[in-house]
Every structure is written in structure tokens, then in C-alpha cells.
Amino acid sequence: MQDPTPSKQPRQPSSLACVTCRRRHLKCDAQMPVCGRCQASTTECRYIRSRRGLRTKNGTPHPQLLDDNEIALFPAIDPDAFPDWLSATTMASELVDTSQALFQPVSTSPAIEIPQIPDAALAWPEPDNAITPEIAYDSMIQLYYQSFHRSHPLLVPRKALHSSLCGRIPPYIISIMRFIGAHYHSDISLRELFRQSAYSVLSESTPRNGYKVQGMVLLAIIDHAHGTEDSANRTMQEAVNLALELGMNRAAYATDHSEGNSILEESWRRTFWELYCVDGYLAGMRDQTSFRLFHQKAEVKLPCDEGLYNSGHPVISSNQTLKDLVNSWSFNGDEQRFSSFAYRINAARLLGMVMELNRSLEVDIESQIEVLDASLVTSLMQLPSCQNEVYGASSLDEMTFQAEMTSYLALIYLHHPRSNMRFASIHAHTPCTRLPATTEPSLPSATLDLHSQKLLRAADMLSNLATLPNPVKYRTPFFTCALAMCVVVHTVACLFVPAPEKPESIKARIQLGVGALHVLGKIWPLAKTVRQRLINMYQEVGLRCP
């Protein structure tokens, strides 16, 4: 009689092996989703589909054995309509399995804190565990480049990640990109997965190099967007100190630290200029006298065109400097062309001039005000066309957008202290709107003075940026403060503008600003907080609006 219990057969060698075991020329048990060796050594475990074509019973490829070409065929991610493979459940399990080699376990505390990271967590990965070109297809990395990179394009473009250049990037930069990308995912809990490893850049054990400057600039932006103002300012000042210590303001730095790679060289130039712009934004919103890099001598060449940089092709430096841009106005017909990033830098420079003028102790500065007002208007006239062929006819170049945003903000800062529209009777103090008030509240007048007219005009033009085709949620987090400033100005205008003159238009602009803040508030906590404060402010004065 045959024994009904079948004898246990020894496990046959598998024809499949993970990438890590293949590189080490070791036997692999091909367990899913992590093989035995990788699980024992807490090493990243990934599979690629066998050339023999492993398939499931119904003939479809195994979902964990997709090769690079198949991943590349996925359509661009729309954060509002994520495909099944990017669902929250799948993403959470996938990230836990594949991030063990690069990231330490993270805290689930909702508060943003600078974690204490052990030295071992900051070490560069071993060759078998190095960052590979496949990182370009990482879901959170895709979200970073699709939703955030164009507003703050200092890191190497995504196409450059799919090359040997990715091997030079520290793991904490990848973590920061994933952390930022997670903000655009519908599952907000994914942010916590990368928070600790992202903030490891702030550890004293992290090598003091240009990559650390990049990481700190990005975290300063995110801290500001989360409403942790002191942390953002502290991180920014540390980034400025390190950049000057390294000599990133000198032209030679980008060349000396690029190892002959023109894309990396351009990334270093962009890192300094991004630091310059963000330093200006944060200083302006804190109502400071100026920002540190405003008076710092900068020999760094201006950034190239966005389309060229993001194409992944070798970058040719423009060889243009900020001095060239400042002196570019010519009456002999020779007009120089600059990148949109360069015009954004010039707008930040003019913002710094406004900040200094507002704190000037000179008695007669009317002529300086007129000159600066003319310079800001001229800079807006010099901006390239809003429609950029790189992103399509319906898209706005993000650097041009920020150049306009910064210029209109500077005009508001310039004319508000001289306007008869005062904010003393309105509580408008938010992290975005520290506008000085007079000691006595002003009363509505029959007509607006010249500074009030220019102030309201700048606020109108700034709020118009929220109506452009590109979705508001993809704009820079600093757009939060620009919108908040518009709402404050228009709320005051609701009281001061004579009743026959477009009160309904003013109210519509207030609704526009509050609505745009609602969209940004789904991603950035600061926008949500500021929106509620502005609503409360408007409700306090709403009954007095005509």
C-alpha cells in the first residue's frame, strides 16, 4: 500500500536570483519579496525578470519581476489619480521592504524634530548597496521631480539619475527627495517614513560639502512650509555659513567639484543661487533689514535655461554673471538674453534693496524710492514670455513665475510703508505678513494716494498669478506668503476704496487668495494655518466692507 504522506523533497536550486546575490556571485533562495541572504543582512533586495520570461499561471508577468523598460512605460504620475501600483497600501509595504539598506527606522511622532542619528546611519553605502540608476523610477522620486523640482531646481535633473552620476549622490539627498515627494501623495502617513533619514543631513557627522548645503536648503524650504519658522531660519543660516566656508560663491567651486561632469557643475552653480533666493525670501518674510548673501560678492555664473538643464544633455555654461544682468540694459540695440532663473535671481536682489531702503535712517529717500520702483517695473518688462515651449503652450515657466511673484512682493513692501492704507486697525500678523503698522489707525479717504494705488495694483497683479493654467498645488511653498499678502492688502482695500469703485472685484480677489491657500493647505501645513487666520481677520472687518 502506498504511503499517503508524500516524502518531503529537497528544495531545488532556483533559476532566479536577486540583484544583490548576483553581484556577489552567491546562491539565492529567490524568496519573495526578500531573499534569505538579504533578510539576514538587512540588505536591499530587488529582482528583475529573468530573460526566460517567468510568468504566472494566467500568463501575465509576475508583479515583482518588472524590468526597467516596463517601469519606464508607466505614464506620468498624477497625484490625484494614482494607478494601482502606487496605491497607499502597496506603497507602504513596498517602501518598508526596499528601504532597509539606506534608511533607519523612523519615529511616528508628528512633530518635526532634529533626530539624533547614529554615525553608522550616515556612512556611505557599500558598493553592493550603492544607489543605482533604478532610483530614477522610485515612486517618491518621480513625485519630487514632477511636483517640486521645477520650483527649486538645484539638484541634478531626473534624467541624470539614470546614469553613473547617481552613484555620487549621498543617501540623505535621496531621502530628502523622497520626503518632499511624499507630501504630494494622497497618503500623508508616508511622510513619516523618510523624515528621520532626511533630517540626518543636519547631523554634525555629515561631511561638510556641497551636498550638505543642498540638503539644508531643501529642508529650510520644507520647515518654512510646515510653519516651523525658527528651524527654517536656523537651517538656512547654517547653509549660508557652510556655503561661504566652502567657497561656493566663487566661480571655481563648481568646476573644481564636478569631476568633469557638466551637469553636476551646473547643479553646484544652481545650489548657490537657490541659496541666494531662498535666503532673500525668508529674510523678507521675517521683515529683516536685508539677507546675508545680498552684500556677499558672488562670482558664480548664472544658471542656464531650464530646458537645457533638464534635458540630461551636457550643459554649456552661459558665462554670464549677475553683474552682466544688472548692466544688461543698453541703448545701442544690443539686447542680451538671460535664463528665467537669472531673472528670478535679479528679482531677489531687488527685494533685498527694498528691505534695506525700508530700514534706512535717511530723511529724504523719495528719489531712491522712485528709482527702485522704476527698477522693479523695468525688471518685469524684461521677463521672457510667460509661455515656455519646454513645458507646453499651457504651462508657465516656474522661474519666470517666481521672478514675477518676487517683484510684485517687493513692490508691496516698497509702497506699503508710504501708503495711507494702514493696517493698525486690522490684526494681520501671520508668519507671512509682518507688515509694520502706524501708531494710529487710518481712516478711509475719498481718494487713494499714489503709493496706495501702486500697492493695490501690485496686489492685483500678484493675485492674478493664482489664475494661471499650472495647478496652484505645484507652485513653490513660498507662494503661500505671497497669497497671504494679497488677502491682507485686499481686505484693507475693501475698507478704503470708495464704494463706487469695484468693491465686488476686491472681494472676488480675497476669495481667490483664500481658495488658492486652501489648495496649498492640502500639502503644506503653513498654508492651512495662515488661511484660517486670514479668514478670522476678514470676518472681523467683513461687516464694515461696503
pLDDT tens-digit profile of 446-482?
A: 577 899 899 999 999 999 999 998 899 999 999 999 9
User: pLDDT averaged over the chain?
Assistant: 78
Contact 64, 29 (CB under 8 A): no
Domain that holds residue 472: 419-545
CA distance 163 to 168: 10
pLDDT value at residue 425: 55
Q: How many CB atoms lie within 10 A of CB 378?
A: 12
CA distance 310 to 468: 23
Q: Is residue 514 part of a domain?
A: yes
Q: Is residue 518 part of a domain?
A: yes
CA distance 420 to 426: 14
Nearest to 267 by CA among 131, 157, 170: 157
Confidence of residue 504 (pLDDT cuts 50, 70, 90): confident
Residue 481's Cα: distance from chain center in Å? 14
Q: Is residue 511 part of a domain?
A: yes
CA distance 419 to 496: 11
Confidence of residue 89 (pLDDT cuts 50, 70, 90): very low
- Answer whether residue 111 shows pLDDT above 50: no
Mean pLDDT of the 106-130 span: 37
C-alpha cell recorded at residue 331: 541703448
Least confident of 24-33, 59-68, 280-289: 59-68
Cα angle value 361/362/365 (rounded, 5°): 125
Nearest to 214 by CA among 269, 159, 136: 269
- Answer whether residue 355 shows pLDDT above 60: yes
Determine the angle formed by the axes of helices 262-285 and 340-358, rounding to 10 degrees.
30
pLDDT value at residue 389: 40
Q: How many folded domains does the chain comprise?
A: 1
pLDDT value at residue 273: 98
pLDDT value at residue 445: 55
- What 465-469 contacts at long range (C-beta under 8 Å, 24+ apart), as own/partner pairs, is 465/401, 465/404, 465/405, 465/408, 466/512, 466/513, 466/515, 466/516, 467/512, 468/386, 468/396, 468/401, 469/394, 469/395, 469/396
- Answer whether residue 98 shows pLDDT above 70: no
Confidence of residue 243 (pLDDT cuts 50, 70, 90): very high
pLDDT value at residue 160: 92
Q: Is residue 451 part of a domain?
A: yes
Q: Is residue 529 part of a domain?
A: yes
Q: Is residue 478 part of a domain?
A: yes
Beta bridge partners of 433: 430
Confidence of residue 279 (pLDDT cuts 50, 70, 90): very high
Mean pLDDT of the 509-536 span: 94
Higher pLDDT, 364 or 375: 375
Radius of gyration of the chain (CA): 27
Instruction: Write the CA distances from 15 to 11, 23, 29, 49, integer angstroms.
Output: 12, 15, 9, 11
Mean pLDDT of the 283-296 span: 86
Q: Is residue 483 part of a domain?
A: yes
The alpha carbon dihedral of 486, 487, 490, 492 has a sign of negative
Grid coordinates 544652481 are at which residue? 270
Instruction: Write the CA distances from 287 to 320, 351, 358, 456, 527, integer angstroms.
Output: 31, 11, 10, 20, 19
Contact 318, 270 (CB under 8 A): no
| Environment class of 318 (CB within 10 Å of its CB; exposed 0-12, middle 13-18, buried 19+) | buried
CA distance 545 to 542: 5
388-446 per-position pLDDT tens digit = 443 333 456 899 999 999 999 999 999 998 888 765 456 667 778 865 544 444 555 55
Q: What is the DSSP string of 224-285?
A: HHTT-HHHHHHHHHHHHHHHHHHTTTSHHHHHHTSTT-HHHHHHHHHHHHHHHHHHHHHHHH
Q: Is residue 527 part of a domain?
A: yes
The alpha carbon dihedral of 363, 367, 368, 372 has a sign of positive
